[in-house]
Each structure stands twice: as structure tokens, then as C-alpha cells.
Amino acid sequence: MQDAYDKAAVLAEHGANPAIGAIGKSLPDALLDAKFDRGELTLKIAREHIRAAAALVQKSGYNFLEDVTCVDYHPGEPRFQVIYHIVSHGLKARVRLAVPVESLDAEVDSITPVWPSADFYEREVFDLFGIRFGGHPNLRRIMLPDEWEGHPLRKDYPVEGYR
């Protein structure tokens, strides 16, 4: 699943993309990798730069945050990938940011200062995957009761048979 990334090819082919241009110009360290698969552009962003990268992508014209979610690649490392889908109303195009997160220090900067709509999504990811979002205004469980143990969408949490 992780093999399709090819930064050089994407940069050669989609170098004119405003999101790639903005990150490449102001924050080249943030762009770890990129892929263009089935018509969808994915940029892999370093964890410590996600808030700045999100702000750059927003400034470059991708104005609407659609979704924040996560995928658990247990038992591989980095175990988690936090996924952001951002669409541009002007360009009519979508970009996906993927942030790899190690299981030992599962924390990402919250992007609620950039898009307030990330609030519920990040709470959902925290609830179901146990990833903490630094700087989130109200990080608490959203779907499950507050006293629930475990994070159900992790791959080591059984689908049935628990309790």
C-alpha cells in the first residue's frame, strides 16, 4: 500500500500544482513524499510541519477541509497515517495530505487554528485511534462514552468477542 509513492515523478509531472508549489517554496522539509494514483494527488507531510503545511495549502487556493481521518498500518511502523482531504472550490481539485505517525509518540499538531471544522474530525480520530492532537481546544471522546477503554478502530482491537 505504501509502495506507490514516487516523489520525483510527481514533482516532474505536477510541479505546477499550487499546493506543491507553496510547500516546496516555503517549507521544502515538510514534503516527505508524493504520489499521483487514480487521479488523486497525495502529499506525505512530516509530522512536525502539518499545521504550517495546512496553512500553506489553504493559502494556495485549497480552501475547504473536507475530512480528517486515520489509517492504522499495524504492526508496521510508522504505524498510523493521519489523512486530510482538502478541496479547492476555485480549482475544482482535491489534494490529500498524509502524515505518518509513530505509535510510541502518537501526537500530531491540531489544525483547528487553520480550519475550525477540524474540531470534530480530530476528536473522532482521537476517540477511535487514540492519536492526540496538540493544541486542540476540546480533545475528548466524541462517539464513545468518556469511560470507554481502548480505541476501536485500531487493528489490534478485535471486531467481535471483546467484553
Residues that bind other proteins (CB under 8 A): 1, 3-4, 37-38, 40, 42, 63-67, 69, 71-72, 83, 85, 87, 89, 92, 94, 96, 103-107, 115-117, 119-121, 126-128, 130, 132, 134, 139-154, 156-160, 162
**Minimum distance between the CB of residue 10 and other proteins, rounded to whole angstroms?**
15
- All three cell numbers of 119, joined, read 474540531
**Minimum distance between the CB of residue 31 and other proteins, rounded to whole angstroms?**
18
**Minimum distance between the CB of residue 32 and other proteins, rounded to whole angstroms?**
16
Taking residue 81's Cβ as centre, other Cβ atoms within 10 Å add up to 19
**Minimum distance between the CB of residue 107 and other proteins, rounded to whole angstroms?**
7
Whichever of 20 and 95 has its CB closer to other proteins, that residue is: 95
Which residue's C-alpha cell is 504505524? 79
Strands in 31-37's sheet, in edge-to-edge order, are 31-37, 40-45, 93-101, 80-88, 64-72
Amino acid identity at 150: G
Distance CA 14, CA 10 (A): 6
Whichever of 11 and 83 has its CB closer to other proteins, that residue is: 83
Q: Mark 9-33 as b/e (b = at least 16 C-beta within 10 Å).
A: ebeeebeebbbbebbeeebeebbbb
Whichever of 15 and 137 has its CB closer to other proteins, that residue is: 137
Whichever of 28 and 87 has its CB closer to other proteins, that residue is: 87
- All three cell numbers of 1, joined, read 500500500
